[in-house]
Chains A and B, each alone.
Chain A
Amino acid sequence: MTKYVCKRIGYALLTIFLISVITFTLMNLIPGGPFMSEKAVTPATQAALEAKYGLDVSKPQQYVNYMSGLLQGDLGLSLKQKGRTANDIIFSTFPTSAKLGGISILLAIVAGTALGSLAARLRGKWGDQLIMVVSTLGIAVPSFVVASTLMRIFGVELKWLPTMGLSTPMHYILPVFTLAFYPMAYITRLMRSSMLDALNQDYIRTARAKGVSKFSMLFKHALRNAIIPVITYAGPLLAYTVSGSFVVEKIFNIPGLGREFINCITGRDYPMVMSTTIFLATLLVLMNVVVDILYKVVDPRIKLK
Protein backbone atom coordinates (compact mmCIF):
# COMPACT_ATOMS: atom_id res chain seq x y z
CA MET A 1 0.00 0.00 0.00
CA THR A 2 2.74 2.46 1.01
CA LYS A 3 4.75 1.43 -2.03
CA TYR A 4 1.69 1.96 -4.18
CA VAL A 5 1.06 5.45 -2.79
CA CYS A 6 4.71 6.43 -3.29
CA LYS A 7 4.61 5.22 -6.88
CA ARG A 8 1.40 7.12 -7.52
CA ILE A 9 2.86 10.33 -6.08
CA GLY A 10 5.88 9.94 -8.36
CA TYR A 11 3.62 9.63 -11.40
CA ALA A 12 1.54 12.54 -10.15
CA LEU A 13 4.59 14.83 -9.98
CA LEU A 14 5.57 13.81 -13.50
CA THR A 15 2.05 14.54 -14.75
CA ILE A 16 2.01 17.95 -13.12
CA PHE A 17 5.42 18.78 -14.60
CA LEU A 18 4.22 17.89 -18.11
CA ILE A 19 1.07 19.91 -17.63
CA SER A 20 3.13 22.93 -16.55
CA VAL A 21 5.29 22.69 -19.67
CA ILE A 22 2.28 22.34 -21.97
CA THR A 23 0.41 25.17 -20.29
CA PHE A 24 3.41 27.46 -20.46
CA THR A 25 3.91 26.76 -24.15
CA LEU A 26 0.27 27.15 -25.11
CA MET A 27 -0.15 30.26 -23.00
CA ASN A 28 2.74 31.95 -24.77
CA LEU A 29 1.39 30.93 -28.16
CA ILE A 30 -1.78 32.95 -27.60
CA PRO A 31 -1.37 36.27 -29.38
CA GLY A 32 -1.37 39.41 -27.29
CA GLY A 33 0.16 40.15 -23.92
CA PRO A 34 -0.70 41.33 -20.44
CA PHE A 35 0.11 44.98 -21.04
CA MET A 36 -1.82 45.52 -24.23
CA SER A 37 -4.74 47.83 -23.89
CA GLU A 38 -6.63 50.41 -25.88
CA LYS A 39 -4.36 53.07 -24.51
CA ALA A 40 -1.06 52.95 -26.31
CA VAL A 41 1.86 52.22 -24.06
CA THR A 42 5.20 53.71 -24.85
CA PRO A 43 7.99 51.24 -25.58
CA ALA A 44 9.84 52.51 -22.55
CA THR A 45 6.89 51.82 -20.22
CA GLN A 46 6.39 48.42 -21.83
CA ALA A 47 10.03 47.55 -21.25
CA ALA A 48 9.90 48.76 -17.67
CA LEU A 49 6.80 46.68 -16.94
CA GLU A 50 8.31 43.59 -18.55
CA ALA A 51 11.47 44.04 -16.54
CA LYS A 52 9.46 44.41 -13.32
CA TYR A 53 7.56 41.18 -13.88
CA GLY A 54 10.52 39.26 -15.27
CA LEU A 55 9.18 39.04 -18.80
CA ASP A 56 12.31 40.50 -20.35
CA VAL A 57 14.31 37.29 -20.24
CA SER A 58 13.99 34.40 -22.74
CA LYS A 59 10.89 32.16 -22.57
CA PRO A 60 12.71 29.07 -21.25
CA GLN A 61 14.32 31.25 -18.59
CA GLN A 62 10.86 32.58 -17.64
CA TYR A 63 9.67 29.01 -17.23
CA VAL A 64 12.63 28.09 -15.07
CA ASN A 65 12.13 31.20 -12.95
CA TYR A 66 8.44 30.42 -12.49
CA MET A 67 9.01 26.80 -11.60
CA SER A 68 11.76 27.57 -9.09
CA GLY A 69 9.38 30.01 -7.45
CA LEU A 70 6.67 27.38 -7.45
CA LEU A 71 8.92 24.89 -5.70
CA GLN A 72 9.40 27.45 -2.92
CA GLY A 73 5.66 27.98 -2.70
CA ASP A 74 5.72 31.29 -4.56
CA LEU A 75 3.22 31.35 -7.39
CA GLY A 76 4.26 34.76 -8.65
CA LEU A 77 2.77 38.21 -8.89
CA SER A 78 -0.47 38.83 -10.68
CA LEU A 79 0.11 40.96 -13.73
CA LYS A 80 -3.40 42.37 -13.69
CA GLN A 81 -4.39 42.76 -10.05
CA LYS A 82 -1.84 45.21 -8.81
CA GLY A 83 -0.02 44.27 -5.66
CA ARG A 84 -1.62 40.85 -5.27
CA THR A 85 0.25 37.60 -5.52
CA ALA A 86 -1.23 34.53 -7.21
CA ASN A 87 -1.04 32.74 -3.84
CA ASP A 88 -3.17 35.45 -2.32
CA ILE A 89 -5.78 35.33 -5.10
CA ILE A 90 -6.04 31.54 -5.22
CA PHE A 91 -6.19 31.01 -1.48
CA SER A 92 -8.68 33.77 -0.89
CA THR A 93 -11.09 32.59 -3.62
CA PHE A 94 -10.62 28.83 -3.43
CA PRO A 95 -12.36 28.28 -0.06
CA THR A 96 -15.52 29.94 -1.39
CA SER A 97 -15.56 27.78 -4.51
CA ALA A 98 -14.58 24.69 -2.55
CA LYS A 99 -17.40 25.10 -0.05
CA LEU A 100 -19.99 25.70 -2.73
CA GLY A 101 -18.64 22.91 -4.94
CA GLY A 102 -18.23 20.49 -2.06
CA ILE A 103 -21.83 20.89 -0.93
CA SER A 104 -23.02 20.53 -4.52
CA ILE A 105 -21.08 17.35 -5.16
CA LEU A 106 -22.18 15.84 -1.88
CA LEU A 107 -25.77 16.54 -2.88
CA ALA A 108 -25.18 15.19 -6.38
CA ILE A 109 -23.64 11.95 -5.11
CA VAL A 110 -26.21 11.27 -2.41
CA ALA A 111 -29.25 12.22 -4.48
CA GLY A 112 -27.88 10.70 -7.70
CA THR A 113 -27.07 7.38 -6.04
CA ALA A 114 -30.42 7.18 -4.29
CA LEU A 115 -32.44 8.19 -7.36
CA GLY A 116 -30.47 5.88 -9.65
CA SER A 117 -30.95 2.92 -7.32
CA LEU A 118 -34.61 3.69 -6.97
CA ALA A 119 -35.03 3.95 -10.74
CA ALA A 120 -33.35 0.56 -11.17
CA ARG A 121 -35.61 -0.96 -8.53
CA LEU A 122 -38.70 0.53 -10.19
CA ARG A 123 -37.50 -0.31 -13.69
CA GLY A 124 -40.18 0.33 -16.30
CA LYS A 125 -42.66 1.76 -13.83
CA TRP A 126 -43.70 5.42 -13.84
CA GLY A 127 -41.30 6.30 -10.99
CA ASP A 128 -38.39 5.13 -13.12
CA GLN A 129 -39.66 7.08 -16.10
CA LEU A 130 -40.06 10.26 -14.08
CA ILE A 131 -36.54 9.98 -12.68
CA MET A 132 -35.18 9.34 -16.18
CA VAL A 133 -36.98 12.37 -17.63
CA VAL A 134 -35.60 14.64 -14.90
CA SER A 135 -32.09 13.26 -15.30
CA THR A 136 -32.22 13.71 -19.06
CA LEU A 137 -33.21 17.33 -18.45
CA GLY A 138 -30.29 17.71 -16.06
CA ILE A 139 -27.87 16.51 -18.69
CA ALA A 140 -29.39 18.44 -21.59
CA VAL A 141 -30.08 21.85 -20.05
CA PRO A 142 -26.97 24.05 -19.66
CA SER A 143 -26.23 25.51 -16.24
CA PHE A 144 -26.82 29.15 -17.24
CA VAL A 145 -30.36 28.26 -18.28
CA VAL A 146 -30.94 26.38 -15.03
CA ALA A 147 -29.49 29.29 -13.05
CA SER A 148 -31.50 32.02 -14.75
CA THR A 149 -34.72 29.98 -14.61
CA LEU A 150 -34.25 29.34 -10.90
CA MET A 151 -33.43 32.99 -10.26
CA ARG A 152 -36.51 34.06 -12.16
CA ILE A 153 -38.86 31.69 -10.34
CA PHE A 154 -37.53 31.64 -6.79
CA GLY A 155 -35.82 35.02 -6.71
CA VAL A 156 -37.91 37.36 -8.80
CA GLU A 157 -41.42 35.89 -8.92
CA LEU A 158 -41.78 34.09 -5.60
CA LYS A 159 -39.14 36.14 -3.78
CA TRP A 160 -38.29 33.11 -1.60
CA LEU A 161 -34.57 32.95 -2.14
CA PRO A 162 -31.76 35.50 -2.54
CA THR A 163 -29.92 35.42 -5.86
CA MET A 164 -26.67 37.29 -5.31
CA GLY A 165 -23.61 36.40 -3.26
CA LEU A 166 -23.17 33.82 -0.52
CA SER A 167 -23.75 35.75 2.70
CA THR A 168 -26.29 33.43 4.40
CA PRO A 169 -27.08 29.70 4.15
CA MET A 170 -30.18 30.66 2.13
CA HIS A 171 -27.88 32.15 -0.47
CA TYR A 172 -26.36 28.74 -1.10
CA ILE A 173 -29.56 27.04 -2.23
CA LEU A 174 -29.80 28.27 -5.82
CA PRO A 175 -26.10 28.07 -6.78
CA VAL A 176 -25.76 24.67 -5.10
CA PHE A 177 -28.74 23.32 -7.00
CA THR A 178 -27.49 24.79 -10.26
CA LEU A 179 -24.07 23.24 -9.76
CA ALA A 180 -25.44 19.89 -8.58
CA PHE A 181 -28.06 19.37 -11.26
CA TYR A 182 -25.83 18.09 -14.05
CA PRO A 183 -23.63 15.74 -11.97
CA MET A 184 -26.70 14.50 -10.10
CA ALA A 185 -28.40 13.66 -13.39
CA TYR A 186 -25.26 11.98 -14.67
CA ILE A 187 -24.75 9.94 -11.50
CA THR A 188 -28.42 8.93 -11.54
CA ARG A 189 -28.02 7.44 -15.00
CA LEU A 190 -24.70 5.76 -14.16
CA MET A 191 -26.16 4.35 -10.98
CA ARG A 192 -29.30 3.09 -12.66
CA SER A 193 -27.46 1.08 -15.27
CA SER A 194 -24.88 -0.41 -12.94
CA MET A 195 -27.60 -1.13 -10.37
CA LEU A 196 -29.67 -2.97 -12.95
CA ASP A 197 -26.62 -5.05 -13.69
CA ALA A 198 -25.97 -5.77 -10.02
CA LEU A 199 -29.59 -6.67 -9.29
CA ASN A 200 -29.38 -9.42 -11.91
CA GLN A 201 -26.43 -11.10 -10.24
CA ASP A 202 -26.63 -14.46 -8.51
CA TYR A 203 -25.69 -13.04 -5.12
CA ILE A 204 -28.84 -10.94 -5.14
CA ARG A 205 -30.86 -14.12 -5.65
CA THR A 206 -28.94 -15.61 -2.71
CA ALA A 207 -29.76 -12.57 -0.58
CA ARG A 208 -33.41 -12.90 -1.52
CA ALA A 209 -33.40 -16.58 -0.63
CA LYS A 210 -31.94 -15.65 2.76
CA GLY A 211 -34.96 -13.52 3.52
CA VAL A 212 -33.18 -10.16 3.25
CA SER A 213 -35.48 -7.12 3.08
CA LYS A 214 -35.83 -5.18 -0.16
CA PHE A 215 -34.08 -2.17 1.34
CA SER A 216 -31.08 -4.16 2.50
CA MET A 217 -30.98 -6.03 -0.81
CA LEU A 218 -30.76 -2.75 -2.71
CA PHE A 219 -28.59 -0.67 -0.41
CA LYS A 220 -26.43 -3.32 1.23
CA HIS A 221 -25.99 -6.10 -1.28
CA ALA A 222 -26.34 -4.37 -4.64
CA LEU A 223 -25.17 -0.81 -3.95
CA ARG A 224 -21.62 -1.60 -2.94
CA ASN A 225 -21.18 -3.69 -6.07
CA ALA A 226 -22.75 -1.07 -8.29
CA ILE A 227 -21.08 2.08 -7.02
CA ILE A 228 -17.67 1.72 -8.71
CA PRO A 229 -18.63 3.70 -11.87
CA VAL A 230 -19.96 6.50 -9.68
CA ILE A 231 -16.69 6.67 -7.76
CA THR A 232 -14.76 6.80 -11.03
CA TYR A 233 -16.86 9.72 -12.18
CA ALA A 234 -17.11 11.54 -8.87
CA GLY A 235 -13.36 11.83 -8.21
CA PRO A 236 -12.40 14.10 -11.12
CA LEU A 237 -15.80 15.76 -10.88
CA LEU A 238 -15.05 16.82 -7.32
CA ALA A 239 -11.75 18.34 -8.42
CA TYR A 240 -13.43 20.31 -11.20
CA THR A 241 -16.32 21.49 -9.10
CA VAL A 242 -14.44 22.61 -6.00
CA SER A 243 -12.13 24.64 -8.21
CA GLY A 244 -15.11 26.73 -9.20
CA SER A 245 -17.54 27.15 -12.04
CA PHE A 246 -17.15 30.28 -14.11
CA VAL A 247 -20.79 30.35 -15.21
CA VAL A 248 -22.34 29.86 -11.79
CA GLU A 249 -19.97 32.25 -10.06
CA LYS A 250 -20.57 34.89 -12.71
CA ILE A 251 -24.38 34.57 -12.63
CA PHE A 252 -24.74 34.46 -8.85
CA ASN A 253 -21.97 37.03 -8.33
CA ILE A 254 -19.84 34.75 -6.18
CA PRO A 255 -16.17 35.69 -5.60
CA GLY A 256 -14.75 32.26 -6.40
CA LEU A 257 -11.77 30.73 -8.16
CA GLY A 258 -13.72 29.86 -11.32
CA ARG A 259 -14.11 33.50 -12.20
CA GLU A 260 -10.43 34.22 -11.60
CA PHE A 261 -9.47 31.32 -13.81
CA ILE A 262 -11.32 32.65 -16.86
CA ASN A 263 -10.41 36.27 -16.20
CA CYS A 264 -6.70 35.55 -15.98
CA ILE A 265 -6.72 33.78 -19.33
CA THR A 266 -8.51 36.59 -21.14
CA GLY A 267 -6.17 39.08 -19.45
CA ARG A 268 -2.99 37.07 -20.31
CA ASP A 269 -2.09 37.10 -16.63
CA TYR A 270 0.69 34.56 -17.16
CA PRO A 271 1.61 33.67 -13.56
CA MET A 272 -2.08 33.34 -12.70
CA VAL A 273 -2.75 31.08 -15.69
CA MET A 274 0.14 28.84 -14.70
CA SER A 275 -0.80 28.82 -11.05
CA THR A 276 -4.49 28.11 -11.45
CA THR A 277 -3.83 25.40 -14.04
CA ILE A 278 -1.24 23.67 -11.89
CA PHE A 279 -3.55 24.00 -8.89
CA LEU A 280 -6.41 22.34 -10.76
CA ALA A 281 -4.09 19.68 -12.17
CA THR A 282 -2.80 18.86 -8.70
CA LEU A 283 -6.34 18.54 -7.38
CA LEU A 284 -7.29 16.26 -10.27
CA VAL A 285 -4.29 14.00 -9.91
CA LEU A 286 -4.85 13.83 -6.18
CA MET A 287 -8.50 12.90 -6.64
CA ASN A 288 -7.52 10.12 -9.02
CA VAL A 289 -5.27 8.62 -6.37
CA VAL A 290 -8.09 8.90 -3.83
CA VAL A 291 -10.44 7.19 -6.29
CA ASP A 292 -8.03 4.30 -6.78
CA ILE A 293 -7.71 3.82 -3.05
CA LEU A 294 -11.50 4.00 -2.66
CA TYR A 295 -11.89 1.20 -5.23
CA LYS A 296 -9.87 -1.01 -2.96
CA VAL A 297 -11.96 -0.02 0.06
CA VAL A 298 -15.25 -0.74 -1.73
CA ASP A 299 -14.25 -3.87 -3.59
CA PRO A 300 -11.78 -6.21 -1.87
CA ARG A 301 -11.11 -8.02 -5.14
CA ILE A 302 -9.30 -5.00 -6.57
CA LYS A 303 -5.55 -5.17 -6.10
CA LEU A 304 -3.48 -2.00 -6.09
CA LYS A 305 -0.23 -2.51 -7.92
Chain B
Amino acid sequence: MASKRLKAEENWTGRRVDFPAFSDALSKRRAELGNPELPRNSGERRTESKKALLKAIKDAGGKW
Protein backbone atom coordinates (compact mmCIF):
# COMPACT_ATOMS: atom_id res chain seq x y z
CA MET B 1 0.00 0.00 0.00
CA ALA B 2 2.84 2.33 0.79
CA SER B 3 4.41 1.92 -2.62
CA LYS B 4 1.04 2.51 -4.30
CA ARG B 5 0.60 5.71 -2.29
CA LEU B 6 4.11 6.89 -3.11
CA LYS B 7 3.49 6.35 -6.80
CA ALA B 8 0.30 8.39 -6.64
CA GLU B 9 2.05 11.19 -4.75
CA GLU B 10 4.70 11.32 -7.45
CA ASN B 11 1.89 12.02 -9.90
CA TRP B 12 0.72 15.09 -7.99
CA THR B 13 1.15 18.06 -10.30
CA GLY B 14 0.04 20.81 -7.95
CA ARG B 15 2.09 22.58 -5.35
CA ARG B 16 3.87 20.63 -2.66
CA VAL B 17 4.24 22.28 0.72
CA ASP B 18 6.56 20.96 3.40
CA PHE B 19 4.63 21.90 6.50
CA PRO B 20 7.52 22.50 8.94
CA ALA B 21 9.29 24.82 6.48
CA PHE B 22 6.02 26.57 5.62
CA SER B 23 5.13 27.10 9.27
CA ASP B 24 8.59 28.38 10.19
CA ALA B 25 8.60 30.89 7.32
CA LEU B 26 5.08 32.03 8.19
CA SER B 27 6.00 32.50 11.84
CA LYS B 28 8.91 34.73 10.85
CA ARG B 29 6.76 36.73 8.47
CA ARG B 30 4.06 37.21 11.10
CA ALA B 31 6.67 38.47 13.55
CA GLU B 32 8.06 40.89 10.94
CA LEU B 33 4.57 42.32 10.48
CA GLY B 34 3.88 42.59 14.22
CA ASN B 35 1.63 39.50 14.40
CA PRO B 36 -1.38 41.00 12.63
CA GLU B 37 -4.82 39.63 13.40
CA LEU B 38 -7.52 38.99 10.84
CA PRO B 39 -11.02 40.24 11.58
CA ARG B 40 -13.51 37.46 12.24
CA ASN B 41 -16.31 36.99 9.75
CA SER B 42 -19.41 38.92 10.73
CA GLY B 43 -21.52 35.82 10.09
CA GLU B 44 -24.01 37.67 7.91
CA ARG B 45 -23.37 35.35 4.96
CA ARG B 46 -23.76 32.10 6.90
CA THR B 47 -26.18 29.54 5.52
CA GLU B 48 -28.83 28.04 7.78
CA SER B 49 -26.86 24.79 7.68
CA LYS B 50 -23.73 26.60 8.84
CA LYS B 51 -25.56 28.37 11.65
CA ALA B 52 -26.95 25.03 12.83
CA LEU B 53 -23.53 23.38 12.70
CA LEU B 54 -21.89 26.16 14.70
CA LYS B 55 -24.68 25.95 17.27
CA ALA B 56 -24.15 22.19 17.54
CA ILE B 57 -20.43 22.72 18.11
CA LYS B 58 -21.16 25.33 20.75
CA ASP B 59 -23.71 23.05 22.43
CA ALA B 60 -21.05 20.31 22.53
CA GLY B 61 -18.78 22.68 24.42
CA GLY B 62 -16.59 23.73 21.52
CA LYS B 63 -14.79 27.03 21.71
CA TRP B 64 -14.48 27.72 18.00
Same complex: no
